[in-house]
């Protein structure tokens, strides 16, 4: 029998890292942050957040954060979206996945020095670890993330 694991979920309201047992998760069940008591994101979900909340996660997060900068008009971005979402589900509780639309948040994209899309950035404890621009197949993308996050 497969052993259930402990997941780490960062609260995007206060930045606290919450440890949740996988067995305690149920569809539709809300898990609350132990510090601020706001609802936590579902593990494995791809988050779309305001710049303020993204910076809060980067500053306070204790697990790697994978950010995809994209545009709705970019065919490579559209090709990477389901790959990104599947990776987020597989790595639930190990990384947080965030998508940033550069057309909606150009200042945020400029702050990260984004020159092309899709661009992926991995951040650990407030520090950029690596970045990748362009599309990859699912296996190569998963290997890139695994070797850095």
- The catalytic residue positions are 74, 77
The three-state DSSP-derived secondary structure of the chain is CCCCCEEEEECCCCCCEEEEEHHHCCCCCCCECCCCCCECCCCCCEECCCHHHHHHHHHHCCCCEEEEEECCCCHHHHHHHHHHHHHHHHCECCEEEEEEECCCCHHHHHHCCCCCCCEEEEEECCEEEEEEECCCCHHHHHHHHHCCC
């Amino acid at each position: 029998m497969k052993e259930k694991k402990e997941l780490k979920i960062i609260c995007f309201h206060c930045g606290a890292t919450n440890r949740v047992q996988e067995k305690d998760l149920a569809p539709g069940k809300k898990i609350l942050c132990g510090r601020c008591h706001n609802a936590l994101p579902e593990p494995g979900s791809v988050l779309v957040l305001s710049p303020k909340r993204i910076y809060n996660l980067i500053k306070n997060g204790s697990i790697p954060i994978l950010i995809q900068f994209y545009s709705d008009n970019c065919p490579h971005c559209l090709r990477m979206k389901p790959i990104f979402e599947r990776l987020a589900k597989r790595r639930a509780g190990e990384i947080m996945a965030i998508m940033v639309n550069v057309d909606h948040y150009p200042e945020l994209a400029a702050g990260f020095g984004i020159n092309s899309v899709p661009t992926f950035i991995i951040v650990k404890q407030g520090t950029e670890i690596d970045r990748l621009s362009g599309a990859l197949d699912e296996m190569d993308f998963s290997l890139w993330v695994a070797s850095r996050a």
